[in-house]
């Protein structure tokens, strides 16, 4: 089973905090990989927030392809970061080449374009780069968005963290999502590794999504180029979030109403029952049966956790004002935020959704029955 | 010279030419005469045999040859009175002395065109081999990485939507105080019914006997009102009893309009007095059992009740033409017909066409996909049944339902409209008895619901028919079970209450079986429409064609 570790904080912190929390949950995952997404970056990237950052892995050939394509597309490299890779004794982690996070200046013609137009450009550029490098695996690109870095590799999370030198390279952020397992339900493949990111939306998921194929087909039919990949059944959770919130402009709690719609009798209590009935019918293929615990964030930095409505996966939220952790297990929470009032820890169930606004000032509980 | 045919019966058929041969046990027969009386086609008749017996009397054996006359049962070899294998004789025989036996070497079709009239019958395609749908298995079982659901504990909703769903992008929603609300000027929101995904397909009052139709209708009403299973049933072409139409039960019925428009005068006149809208309107353009062919209710079936419901004179042949008279193009006529029918009920009732399975289904589908008033598409595959058709239509015309539905679904997926226009699959569901499994497989191939006809006649009223051309007398009005006849002497054999009970049994059992299929696949809340990763088949060509896994 995957183990999930998400922390949101008022202050910058090192992603090692997530990884050490993952390590306490080691009995629950098989140590087969690590996926990290950092948002609201500190350290070297604190003053580069306006610039989109491309994260990925490339061979020497891949780097050449990347530079050539980015130059041709009019992107100018503003800053380039590569972790100092350390060989980890006893670990089977194989260095693939360059792990990079490059900040770019937008092409000149895009300087004055809207946010949506810029997001479209970034996504199209990422997809083109993915296509260029996918065949020979010379280039993997995970995200291309301002103020976001993604790191992924196969291996034990703690060993991967050491491999990337995360404890000493000064990389910090205010929101970090970490997932401690490669996708073992399907082929081990970097593009199948959570968390998944699309235009500011990011999720990681614990569990297997039995409704994967109908959901994939529904999203693929939306004629949105970013709804692709699907090397993992969990990728659809990020895209459903993107679709509901960005494309359909639904407020965040409706994500829960889409993936786990209420029964008709339960809906009657909600003030928005008429809208819910229409949503349930029109978005019927996006309904999940679990077992899934989803943790994710939206572009404004709101972190959330939601469960499926039947089988549920472990998930607990707790913290102090200024620092909140959303974890698979209580021990992870103890490691991430030890000095908290444990009595106020919350495990979302069938109808619950937990939302933590940026800055982690409060934990908001939302109950689907009340709306 | 006189030909020798009279002496050697050279131009008569032998029993070997016939599809069923009567096995009569003289030693058991009491000569009660029930079998010959009940035979719907007079294939057997009482007869007298001259017998030569060895007889002995007295204390010392003194065998003597004795000739005597005895009564018995003889099978007729006249091709017009062939034994259909219905087995009514066995049913009534008190001493198990008689039964028809299938003759696999028969040459029946070669002879059954006397007077230049091709063989006509009722029933289904005479192909007993397993259908493609029956070959499909459910191979994605939730194990460990994803614990199976518990059909007894978890919430289950075996329901589907009949009607057009708006694409999410077009929902008339707006945000008010952080909540979504339906806009006041919301425009047309198509009507959608939530129903059980197995429906009773179109069979008319007229094709069915009053007792059979009444039994089905009572069963459906009970399922809805007592069992909470929203099963719907289609009227077939020929209207509905006006009292039922004006009752609160009308909402459980789909009204069918077909090329003869029979019953619609009465329906239109009843609209102002209807207290409930019907579940839907089905416009029949084709039937899987006899694609491209019309229908005919024979004059002798047009008795008082039928004539009244259909608004026609007594004892006249009622021909439904192969095509609607107005159907000169799908863009014009079909769209207009859908709109007219929608308008008749104030756009509150889903209206959809039913076509027979065909290679051209995609053309119809694409047209409907662009028509905002089209509520669904029902496709009736080659294994569908009929009350009357030419044998050649039934056996050789049509399209298998599995690939037809799959193609349509995948086409909708390409357009992103698979949730907008539901597909309903008909024809051969439960052919081998596996109703829930067939329905589930069709749903996973992309259907939103399935229709049954022959299955409910077999399960509900013990219809004798099968894929070995057994009985299939529906067209003659002499149905021995009383299912497809208007002859009171025959249909009074059928108890409508018992039919209703069996209808309830069938749907309750199917509901349980569907849960038993969906739960191990890890699905329970929404119907797994298009969940093709759950399907496997041990035939590479089928797997490739349907885009599902090959398993062996």
pLDDT of residue B234: 97
Characterize the bridge pairing of strands A4-13 and A173-179: antiparallel
pLDDT, one tens digit per residue, over B458-471 is 999 999 999 999 99
User: In the A/B pair of chains, how many CB contacts fall below 8 A?
Assistant: 125
CB A344 within 8 A of CB A352: no
Does A301 lie at the interface with B, CB-CB under 8 angstroms? no
| pLDDT on residue B454 | 96
Q: If you ran DSSP here, which 8-state letter would residue B208 be given? A: B
A357 touches chain B (CB under 8 A): no
Secondary structure letter of residue B330 according to DSSP: I
* N- to C-terminal Cα separation, chain A: 31
Minimal Cβ distance to A223: which of B157, B416, B530: B416
Question: Does A291 lie at the interface with B, CB-CB under 8 angstroms?
Answer: yes
Following CA atoms B16, B21, B22, B26 in sequence, which dihedral angle do they give, to the nearest 10 degrees?
Answer: 40
- What's the CATH code of the domain at A67? 3.60.20.10
Kindly determine whether residue B526 and residue A309, on different chains, have CB atoms separated by under 8 Å. Answer: no
Q: What are phi and psi of A40, to 5 degrees?
A: 60, 75
pLDDT of residue B500: 98
Report chain B residues whose CB lies below 8 A from the CB of A255.
none
Q: Which is nearest to A1 in space by CA: A19, A25, A35, A24?
A: A25
**Burial readout B262-283 (b: 16 or more C-beta within 10 A, e: otherwise):** bbbebbeebeeebeebbbbbbb
Residue numbers in A near B157 (CB within 8 A): 263
Whole-number pLDDT of residue B10 = 84
The count of domains in chain A is 1
Nearest Cβ partner for B181 among A260, A261, A272: A272
Interface test with B, best of A183, A254, A281 (most B CBs within 10 A): A281
Question: CB contact, 8 Å: A265 with chain B?
Answer: no
Give me A174's structure tokens. 């205010």
Task: Indicate the angle between helix axes B496-518 and B435-445, nearest 10 degrees.
Answer: 50
Nearest C-alpha in A relative to B523: A289
Q: What is the pLDDT of residue B2?
A: 67
Does B157 touch chain A if contact means CB atoms closer than 8 Å? yes
pLDDT < 70 stretches in chain A = 1, 28-31, 182-187
pLDDT band at B1 (very low <50, low <70, confident <90, very high): low
Token pair of A118 as six digits: 């810029």
* A370 Cβ under 8 Å from any chain B Cβ: no
Token pair 């028919």 in the structure block, residue:
B465
Long-range contacts of B311-319 (CB under 8 A, 24+ apart): B311/B239, B311/B262, B311/B263, B311/B265, B311/B266, B312/B262, B318/B206, B318/B260, B318/B262, B319/B260, B319/B294, B319/B295
Structure tokens at B361: 């289904």
Residues in A touching B169 (Cβ below 8 Å): 247-248
Give residue A30's pLDDT: 65
Q: Residues, chain B, total?
A: 552
Q: How far apart are the C-alpha atoms of B126 and B18, rounded to whole Å?
A: 15
pLDDT value for A182:
61
pLDDT digits (tens, 9 = 90+) for B3-42: 666 677 888 999 999 999 999 999 999 999 999 999 999 9
Beta-carbon contacts of residue A268 (< 8 Å; ≥ 6 apart): none
Q: Which CATH architecture has domain B135-163+194-550?
A: Alpha-Beta Barrel (3.20)
Taking phi over 0 as left and psi of -120 to 50 as alpha, with beta for the rest, A220 belongs to alpha
List the beta strands (DSSP E) in B238-286. 253-257, 280-284
Residue A192 touches chain B, beta carbons under 8 Å = no
Strand partners, A149: A38
Q: What is the largest CA-CA distance in chain B?
A: 114
Parts of chain B belonging to CATH 3.20.20.70: 135-163+194-550
Pairing of strands A76-81, A139-146: unpaired
Residue A214 has its nearest CB partner, among B167, B172, B529, at: B529
Q: At what angle do helices A60-73 and A115-134 cross, to 10 degrees?
A: 150
Q: Give the HSE-up count for residue B73: Cα atoms under 13 Å, Cβ half-sphere.
A: 30
Maximum Cα–Cα distance across chain A: 60
Residue range(s) defining the domain that contains residue A57: 4-367
Facing residue for A278 by CB, picked from B182, B416, B524: B182
Q: What's the CA gap between B423 and B146, in Å, rounded? A: 30
Residues A145 and B402: their CA atoms lie apart, in Å, by 45
Asked if B187 reaches chain A (Cβ–Cβ under 8 Å), the answer is no
Any chain A CB within 8 A of the CB of B182? yes
Q: What local confidence, expressed as pLDDT, does residue A86 receive?
A: 87
* Cross-chain residue pair A282–B523, CB shorter than 8 Å: no
Mean pLDDT (chain B) is 93
A99 contacts chain B (CB < 8 A): no
CATH of segment(s) B11-116: 3.30.70.20
Mean pLDDT of the B403-411 span: 98
Tokens of B224: 């809805």
- List C-alpha distances in Å: A48 to A103, A174, B475: 7, 15, 82
- Tell how strand B351-356 and strand B280-284 pair up: parallel
The answer to whether residue A271 neighbours chain B at the CB level (below 8 Å) is yes
Query: Which pLDDT value is given to residue A187?
Result: 60
Check A275 against B180: CB less than 8 A apart.
yes
The Cα A98–Cα A60 span in angstroms is 7
Chain A: residue whose CA lies nearest to B443: A214
| Chain A residues 223-242 within an 8 A CB cutoff of chain B | 223
A126 vs A229: CA distance, rounded Å: 12
Beta-carbon contacts of B37 under 8 Å, excluding residues fewer than 6 positions away, are none
Tell me whether the omega of the peptide bond preceding residue B58 falls within 30 degrees of 0, making it cis.
no
* CATH 3.30.70.20 intervals, chain B: 11-116
Query: In the numeric block, which tokens belong to residue A363?
Result: 């934990």
Say how far apart CA A270 and CA B493 lie, in whole Å. Answer: 53
Per the listing, tokens 């009940």 go with B38
Cα separation, A273 vs A252, in Å, equals: 17
**Residue range B161-177: mean pLDDT, rounded:** 96
Q: Which of A30, A210, A236 to mutate to test the interface with B (most CBs of B within 10 A)?
A: A210
Q: Mean pLDDT, to the nearest integer, of B123-138? A: 95
Measured between CA atoms, how close is B316 to chain A, in angstroms?
46
Average pLDDT over residues B424-433: 96
The answer to whether the Cβ–Cβ distance between A285 and B528 falls below 8 Å is no
């Amino acid at each position: 089973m995957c183990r999930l570790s998400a922390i949101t904080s008022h202050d910058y912190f090192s992603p090692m905090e997530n990884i050490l929390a993952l390590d306490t949950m080691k009995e629950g995952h098989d140590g087969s990989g690590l996926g990290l997404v950092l948002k609201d970056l500190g350290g070297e990237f604190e003053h580069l927030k306006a610039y989109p950052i491309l994260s990925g892995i490339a061979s020497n050939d891949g780097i050449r392809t990347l530079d050539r394509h980015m130059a041709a597309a009019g992107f100018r490299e503003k800053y380039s970061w590569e972790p100092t890779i350390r060989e980890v004794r006893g670990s089977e982690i194989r260095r693939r080449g360059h792990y990079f996070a490059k900040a770019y200046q937008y092409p000149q013609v895009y300087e004055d374009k809207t946010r949506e137009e810029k997001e479209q450009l970034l996504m199209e550029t990422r997809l083109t780069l993915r296509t260029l490098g996918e065949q020979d695996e010379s280039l993997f690109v995970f995200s291309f968005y301002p103020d976001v870095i993604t790191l992924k590799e196969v291996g034990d999370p703690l060993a991967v963290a050491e491999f990337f030198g995360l404890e000493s390279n000064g990389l910090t952020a205010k929101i970090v999502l970490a997932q401690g397992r490669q996708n073992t339900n399907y082929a081990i493949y970097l593009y199948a590794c959570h968390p998944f990111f699309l235009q500011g939306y990011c999720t990681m998921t614990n569990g297997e999504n039995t409704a994967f194929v109908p959901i994939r087909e529904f999203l693929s039919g939306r004629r949105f180029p970013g709804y692709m990949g699907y090397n993992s059944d969990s990728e659809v959770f990020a895209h459903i979030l993107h679709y509901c919130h960005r494309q359909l402009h639904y407020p965040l709690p409706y994500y829960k109403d889409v993936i786990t719609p209420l029964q008709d009798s339960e809906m009657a209590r909600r003030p928005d029952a008429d809208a819910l009935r229409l949503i349930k019918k029109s978005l019927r293929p996006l309904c999940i049966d679990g077992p899934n615990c989803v943790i994710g964030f939206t572009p404004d930095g709101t972190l959330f956790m939601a469960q499926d409505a039947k089988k549920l996966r472990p998930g607990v939220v707790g913290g102090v004002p200024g620092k909140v952790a959303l974890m698979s297990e209580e021990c992870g929470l103890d490691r991430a935020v030890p000095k908290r009032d444990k009595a106020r820890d919350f495990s979302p169930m069938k109808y619950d959704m937990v939302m933590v606004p940026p800055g982690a000032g409060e934990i908001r509980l939302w109950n689907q029955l009340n709306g | 010279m006189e030909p020798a045919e009279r002496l050697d019966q050279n131009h008569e058929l032998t029993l070997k030419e016939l599809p069923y041969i009567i096995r009569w046990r003289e030693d058991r027969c009491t000569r009660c005469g029930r079998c010959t009386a009940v035979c719907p086609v007079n294939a057997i008749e009482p007869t007298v045999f001259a017998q030569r017996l060895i007889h002995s009397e007295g204390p010392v054996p003194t065998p003597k040859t004795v000739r005597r006359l005895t009564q018995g049962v003889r099978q007729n070899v006249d091709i017009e009175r062939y034994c259909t294998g219905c087995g009514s004789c066995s049913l009534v025989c008190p001493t198990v002395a008689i039964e028809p036996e299938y003759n696999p070497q028969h040459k029946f079709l070669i002879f059954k065109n006397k007077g230049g009239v091709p063989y006509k019958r009722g029933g289904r395609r005479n192909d007993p081999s397993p259908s493609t749908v029956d070959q499909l298995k459910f191979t994605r079982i939730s194990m460990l990485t994803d614990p199976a659901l518990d059909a007894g504990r978890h919430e289950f909703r075996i329901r589907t939507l009949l009607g057009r769903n708006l694409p999410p992008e077009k929902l008339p929603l707006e945000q008010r105080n952080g909540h979504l609300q339906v806009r006041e000027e919301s425009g047309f929101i198509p009507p959608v019914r939530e129903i059980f995904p197995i429906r009773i397909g179109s069979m008319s009052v007229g094709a069915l006997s009053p007792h059979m139709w009444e039994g089905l209708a009572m069963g459906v009403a009970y399922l809805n009102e007592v069992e909470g299973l929203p099963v719907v049933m289609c009227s077939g072409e020929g209207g509905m009893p006006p009292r039922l139409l004006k009752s609160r039960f009308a909402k459980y019925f789909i009204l069918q309009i077909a090329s003869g428009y029979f019953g619609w005068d009465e329906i239109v006149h009843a609209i102002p007095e209807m207290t409930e809208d019907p579940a839907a309107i089905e416009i029949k353009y084709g039937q899987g059992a006899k694609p491209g062919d019309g229908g005919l209710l024979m004059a002798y079936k047009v008795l008082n009740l039928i004539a009244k419901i259909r608004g026609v004179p007594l004892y006249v042949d009622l021909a439904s033409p192969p095509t609607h008279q107005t159907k000169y193009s799908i863009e014009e006529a079909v769209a207009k017909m859908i709109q007219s029918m929608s308008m008749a009920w104030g756009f509150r009732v889903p209206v959809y066409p039913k076509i027979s399975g065909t290679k051209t289904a995609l053309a119809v589908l694409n047209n409907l996909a662009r028509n905002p008033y089209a509520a669904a598409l029902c496709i009736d595959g080659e294994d569908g049944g009929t009350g009357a058709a030419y044998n050649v239509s039934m056996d050789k015309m049509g399209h298998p339902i599995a690939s037809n539905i799959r193609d349509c679904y995948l086409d909708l997926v390409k357009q992103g409209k698979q949730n907008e226009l539901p597909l309903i699959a008909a024809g051969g569901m439960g052919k081998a008895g596996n109703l829930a499994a067939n329905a589930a497989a069709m749903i996973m191939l992309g259907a939103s619901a399935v229709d049954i006809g022959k299955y409910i006649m077999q399960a509900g009223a013990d219809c004798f028919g099968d894929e070995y051309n057994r009985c299939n007398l529906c067209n003659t009005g002499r149905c021995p079970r009383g299912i497809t006849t208007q002859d009171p002497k025959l249909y009074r054999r059928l108890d409508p209450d018992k039919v209703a009970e069996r209808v309830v049994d069938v749907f309750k059992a199917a509901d349980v079986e569907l849960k038993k299929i969906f739960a191990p696949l890890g699905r329970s809340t929404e119907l797994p429409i298009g969940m093709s990763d759950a399907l496997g088949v041990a035939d590479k060509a089928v797997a490739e064609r349907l885009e599902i896994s090959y398993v062996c």
